Structure 1
Amino acid sequence: MEAGNNRPIIIKRKKVIAGGGHHGGAWKVAYADFVTAMMAFFMLMWLLNATTEQQRKGIADYFSPTIPINRVSGGGAGAFGGDNIFTRETLAQSGTGGIANRDGDEAVDVGATAAAQETASLEDLEAALLGLGGESALSDNQLRHVVTRLTDEGLVIEVFDMPNAPLFYGATDTPEGVTVQILEMIARILGSVTNDVAISGHVKAETVVRLRNPAWDVSTSRAARTRLILEAASFDPDRIARITGEADRDPIVSDSSSIRNNRIEIVVLRSDL
């Protein structure tokens, strides 16, 4: 073999850098932290929407730094001197309760609960009258004269005139037969609650100017006749809080001369007012 054929063998070793070169894998860690943070954020939003105010208050109290740590031994084996961490009145050697006394908050909670129960009771009354949850206590002919609405004062029950179907004869306080039937049914339904009621009469405005406007007398006498019909249907007269005649001063529709303004309003008053 000739000397010229003895060529040196050169081996190249290629260095492979893992992780995408100079970027490394740090971006993956950062991305994972971002996704985790977003997940925690959306879980927080969901919890705020899915929990009640009372539940959120309980969670806040759990993390509230109002639980004192007993630094002086009270003779007990526990870290709190033998007393319970949740004792409200006394904690060994401290004289204060382990849970912050939130009497003001409790009073607000009790008031809110009572108001919610009151609203639920009025809604049940409304449902029984109008048949919102099933069959109505009123017939279709009677039901077309009645609408209700919940207000800050209570449940307002409106009984109003329909075209060619008035509640009273002419401009008098003599009720039509359907009016008596509606008021008797309302009296029976109101027997399921103990709330006081207020009665007011309303009439439409006259299209011509009269020397003596009968609106005040008519609205007042109709409210008084409504009271008599309710009492005749065994409604407790002591629950009548007031009777007023509003004349044509409180129209329910923009056209003050519309017969829709001829109405009797029976307000089931909230008991906390």
Structure 2
Amino acid sequence: MARGNGGGGEALRPIIIKKVKKRGHGHHGGSWKVAFADFATAMMAFFLLLWLMGSTTEQQKGAISEYFNNPSGAAGASTAPSSSAVQGPGGASTSMIQLGGAMELHTASDIQEAPASNDDEAEKRAEELDRERLAALMNELKQAIEAREALAKFKDQILLDITPEGVRIQIIDHERRSMFPLGSSRLEEFTAKILYELANIIKTVPNRISISGHTDIKPYVANNYSNWELSADRANAARRALIVGGLPQEKVGRVVGLASSVLLDTAVPDSPVNRRISIIVMNRRTEEAILHENGTLLAVQPDGASPSSEGSTGGAAAPIAAVSPIGLPQ
């Protein structure tokens, strides 16, 4: 708006203020965002790779390495070019990242070539632990026979010894006290109690057991029934009593009747001690021999050792003096 200067002079010029807006240089202002996103993606992929490498096993790393050496589905039919002096092994795409192993490191040939000393040492250690376990069982049985009333009263009828097959427990007849009625496989009450107590001790070890029944030389006269059937029935009666006493059924590895073929006292074939139930807590070798159905326990005998009385059905048994009795009357 023009104002006068009081004398009708020339009007003042209006003051004009102009606002100038600066424009950007096209779309180049956001390019750094794209570069940063690429960088962040690359770093994420890198750290993901490190995490995967740290969490995979040697076998998995070997499988990954084998895949890059042979991407085809068929073993031995690699689609990668063959190695050359220029391209190196596996063609041009050689890996700069060492995965710490390859499939070749785990082939069957290498497993066969691995030293067998580790397996031998493990086997020796297992057998040593087995011997220690059975020795501890023997000590526990001896203490129980002295301390437990159900066993102490009949300790003159319980024999303990260690055979090449394991720890052997024999319950023998006494002149005035038999485990079974004459010609019967029914357990007397005291025999069942002995077996119940033994079951509580035997079940504490993982070893399986073998049960055999024996008779004296006196023949059992009946139609289609002899000392063979009687000894087998008595062995099964002992097996049932042990299971009632708490022994798991799967711990029974063998039940046999041997009649009078393996006498404990060969000098007196009709002696009451020949009528007995024999329970062997088997060692590892005997268990394996039975499981593989070798048909004989002679294979588990150590070099130079004589066969056990339980391992042969035709040979002479060890004399009674060779057994380590607990309270056996002289």
Same fold flag (TM > 0.5): yes
| Residue in structure 2 matched with residue 154 of structure 1 by the alignment | 166
Match of 1:129 in 2: 141
| CA distance in 1 between partners of 2:191 and 2:145 (Å) | 24
**Is 1:119 the equivalent of 2:131?**
yes
Contact residue 131 and residue 137 of structure 1 kept, 8 A? no
2:230 is matched with which residue?
218
Is the CA contact 2:211–2:235 (under 8 Å) kept in the aligned structure 1?
Answer: yes
Alpha-carbon shift at residue 259 of structure 1 (Å): 0.9
CA distance in 1, matches of 2:228, 2:271: 17
Partner letter of residue 272 of structure 2? I
**Distance in 2 between the 1:271 and 1:142 partners?**
30
One-letter amino acid of the structure 2 residue matched with residue 226 of structure 1: A
**Alpha-carbon distance in structure 2 between the residues aligned to 1:159 and 1:235:** 17
- Tell me the equivalent position of 1:197: 209
Q: Give me the TM-score of the superposition, normalised by structure 1.
A: 0.57
CA distance in 2, matches of 1:229, 1:132: 18
**Secondary structure at the counterpart of residue 238 of structure 1:** helix
Q: Which amino acid aligns with 1:197?
A: I
Deviation string for 1:101-129 (max 9, x for gaps)?
99333433322222121111111111111
Using the TM superposition, give the Cα deviation of residue 245 of structure 1 relative to its aligned residue in structure 2, in angstroms.
Answer: 0.5
Out of 107, 112, 115, which is 2:119 matched to? 107
Aligned residue number for residue 282 of structure 2: 269
- In the alignment, is the contact (CA less than 8 A) between 1:161 and 1:263 conserved in 2? yes
Q: Which ranges in structure 2 are unaligned for 5 or more consecutive residues?
A: 1-112, 289-330
Larger Rg: 2
**Aligned with 1:175: secondary structure?**
coil
CA distance 1:211–1:139, shift in 2 (3 Å): closer
Q: CA RMSD in A?
A: 2.6
Distance 1:146 1:133 in 2: 8
Cα deviation per residue 1:99-157 (whole Å; 9 max; x = unaligned)? xx993334333222221211111111111111189846853222221112212211111
Does the aligned pair in 1 maintain the 2:213–2:258 contact within 8 Å? yes
CA–CA separation in structure 2 for the residues paired with 1:129 and 1:137? 13
Change (3 A) 1:179 1:120: same
- Equivalent residue, structure 2, for 1:259: 272
Distance change in 2, residues 1:103/1:223 (3 Å)? same
Q: Which runs of 5+ in 1 are unaligned?
A: 1-100
Partner of 2:253: 241
- Structure 1 position 267, deviation (Å): 1.0
TM-score, reference length from structure 2: 0.48
Q: 1:132 to 1:179 in 2, by over 3 A?
A: closer
1:141 aligned onto 2:153: yes
Shift of 1:209: 8.8
CA distance in 2, matches of 1:182, 1:166: 13
Q: Distance in 2 between matches of 1:134 and 1:267?
A: 20
- Aligned partners of 2:234 and 2:184: how far apart in 1? 8
Cα displacement string for residues 25-68 of structure 1 (whole angstroms, at most 9, x for unaligned residues):
xxxxxxxxxxxxxxxxxxxxxxxxxxxxxxxxxxxxxxxxxxxx
Q: Structure 1 residues 143 and 103, CA, compared in 2 at 3 Å: closer, same or farther? A: farther
> Equivalents in 1 of 2:135, 2:148: separation in Å?
14
Contact 1:130–1:137, Cα closer than 8 Å, also in 2: no
Partner of 1:125, secondary structure, is helix
Q: Separation in 2 of the partners of 1:249 and 1:261?
A: 10
203, 222, 230: which is aligned to 2:242? 230
